[in-house]
Amino acid sequence: MKILVAVKRVIDYNVQIRVKEDGSGVVTDNVKMSTNPPDDNAIEEAVKIKESGKAKEVIAVSVGEEKAQDTVRKALAVGADRGILVKVDGIVEPLAVSKILQKIVEKEKPDLVFMGKQAIDDDCNQTGQMLAALLNWPQATFASKINVKDKSLEVTREVDEGLETIEVNVPAIVTCDLRLNEPRYASLPNIMKAKKKPIEQLSASDLGVDTKPRIEQIKVEEPPKRKAGIKVASVEELVQKLKNEAKVI
């Protein structure tokens, strides 16, 4: 079995983002970038399946600017066998990303495609489902447990009401939740080894995919600030304030 894992380079989850003064977006210069957190879970799961002997190869693919190579390299350092970088500058919407991934899937013919359930920058939560639609493959979204069977996967999904279990035929797309596993850290020797692993470089136009955005981002602004609150000295004062000032209890 062959597993393709899509990884995205995003602003690190610990960074307090700043909106650009001209409203054109958020500041990304000199800001720490990392792998989108649930994409780390996707890579981890693929590598674990390979280690269990059920998969032969794990390929990491990223769509983004030149520097997204670092994100692919990091996936190689935790166990992916080879990488693919599809270079695109500027905003690429999930629809375009899914079309690019469709081309990669047609070329590489993986049995499974894993990725994070949502990117923490645009918070779209679309790419996996869109890719599943374009390929006419089943989708198992928000996965917190994956059981690999002969020709199918049993996947536990985190849904609003609790947990749902579905079975999907292989080939399939799985989008991963943060609770799927505990991503490992790359060891220094593995980081060194990853430098020798191949990364194929492609561009969206090589693949014949139009990445022109369909959605115009008119402006980006900061959310309204909450007015500063107060500290109360005791539980009695808290209850009194909630009752008589805020009038919520």
- Cα(137)–Cα(127) distance, integer angstroms: 13
Answer yes or no: are the C-beta atoms of 73 and 83 closer than 8 Å: yes
Q: Strand, coil or helix: what is 153? A: strand
Q: Is 132 exposed, middle or buried (0-12, 13-18, 19+ CB in 10 A)?
A: buried
Site string for other proteins, 171-210 (x = CB under 8 A): -x----xxx-------------------------------
**Segment contacting other proteins by CB under 8 A, of 49-57, 67-75, 198-206, 212-220:** 212-220
State which of positions 33-72 bind other proteins (CB under 8 A). Answer: 38
We find the least distance from the C-beta atom of residue 20 to other proteins, in angstroms, to be 10
We find the least distance from the C-beta atom of residue 91 to other proteins, in angstroms, to be 11
**Segment contacting other proteins by CB under 8 A, of 59-67, 71-79, 123-131, 198-206:** 123-131
Answer yes or no: are the C-beta atoms of 58 and 47 closer than 8 Å: yes
We find the least distance from the C-beta atom of residue 217 to other proteins, in angstroms, to be 6
Q: Which H helix or E strand runs over 243?
A: none
We find the least distance from the C-beta atom of residue 85 to other proteins, in angstroms, to be 23
- Cα(36)–Cα(60) distance, integer angstroms: 13
Of 117, 183, 186, 194, the one binding other proteins by CB under 8 A: 117
Answer yes or no: are the C-beta atoms of 39 and 147 closer than 8 Å: no
What count of Cα atoms within 13 Å lies in the side-chain half-sphere of residue 96? 23
What tokens were used for 75? 């996936």
CA distances from 140 to 26, 102, 109, 119, 169 (A): 32, 17, 19, 17, 10
Binding of other proteins by 138 (CB under 8 A): yes
Of 56, 67, 106, 133, the one binding other proteins by CB under 8 A: 133
Nearer to other proteins, 45 or 81 (CB): 45
State which of positions 218-237 bind other proteins (CB under 8 A). Answer: 218-223, 226, 229-232, 234-236
Of 83, 94, 110, 183, the one binding other proteins by CB under 8 A: 94
We find the least distance from the C-beta atom of residue 212 to other proteins, in angstroms, to be 10
Binding of other proteins by 238 (CB under 8 A): yes
State which of positions 9-28 bind other proteins (CB under 8 A). Answer: 11, 13-14, 16-17, 19, 26
- Cα(185)–Cα(12) distance, integer angstroms: 16
We find the least distance from the C-beta atom of residue 102 to other proteins, in angstroms, to be 9
Binding of other proteins by 137 (CB under 8 A): yes
Whether the ω angle into residue 171 lies within 30 degrees of 0, i.e. cis, is yes
Q: Strand, coil or helix: what is 95? A: helix
Nearer to other proteins, 2 or 157 (CB): 157
Count CB neighbours of 170 within 10 A: 16
